Amino acid sequence: MKSHVWRPLVVVLAVIALVLVAREVLVPADFGIGARGYMYGWHRAGNEQQWKDVKVKYKTAAFCKDCHPDKYDEMKESPHRNINCENCHGPALNHPDDPKSLTIDRSRELCARCHTRLPYPNSGRGVMKGIDPKTHNVGLDCVTCHWPHDPRKEGHKR
């Protein structure tokens, strides 16, 4: 091993060995080929489970129904029937264990998302009941006159 030809070869082999050892330490055991092959599925398999474990925040109206059947039934009979509770009440998160986590939005802006009149005949927006928020009872919350669970009923009394 004294030859000038062999010495660099030893260095090269040492570098390769070092890279392989470093790779063994740094790359997690589950890093490899997924179902979609090398081009699309080359990843850390454990990450799929990590994404599945993300906490669900919006629990849907079916979750609200168990404790608030009266509100649920009222909604189902109203023109607002397709709106999920959490669109206005905020995500259920840890509700009911943490009642304060609900963030109810009673603002005009929330109603204006759908009920600002826009003259768009080719989309569903054109046929929606709409007002001009610049002229329609400015300064008042919509829920003052319109009951949000069933807009045909009268709103909150002041």
Partner 1 sequence: MISRRSFCKKSLLIAGGLAIPLSCLELFDPKRLLAEKDEKGARWVFLVDTRKCVGCGFCVKGCKVENEVPYDANVTRTWVERYVVTKDGKTHIDSPKGARDGFPNKGIDIGHGKLEEIKDEDIEKAFFVPKLCNQCDNPPCVQVCPVGATYQTADGVVLVDRKWCIGCGYCIMGCPYGVRFFHPVFHVAEKCNFCYHRITKGMQTACVDSCAFGARRVGNLRDPEDPVTKVIMTERVNVLKEEYGTKPQVFYLGLSKEVK
Residue 121 touching partner 1 (CB under 8 A)? yes
Nearer Cβ to partner 1 (81/156) = 81
Residue 33 touching partner 1 (CB under 8 A)? yes
Residue 65 touching partner 1 (CB under 8 A)? no
Residue 146 touching partner 1 (CB under 8 A)? no
Tokens read off for 98: 């943490």
Residue 13 touching partner 1 (CB under 8 A)? yes
Torsion of CA 8, 12, 18, 20, to 10 degrees: -160
Residue 122 touching partner 1 (CB under 8 A)? yes
Tokens read off for 30: 């589950």
Structural contact between residues 155 and 146, judged by C-beta atoms closer than 8 angstroms: yes
Nearer Cβ to partner 1 (37/139) = 37
Q: Which of 111, 125, 57 is nearest to 83 (CA)?
A: 111
Nearer Cβ to partner 1 (6/157) = 6
b/e for 123-154, b at 16 or more Cβ within 10 A?
eeeeeeebeebeeeeeeebbbeebbbbbbeee
Binding site for partner 1 (CB under 8 A): 9, 13, 16, 20, 31-44, 47-48, 51-58, 60, 80, 82-84, 86-87, 90-91, 109, 112-114, 116, 118-126, 128, 133
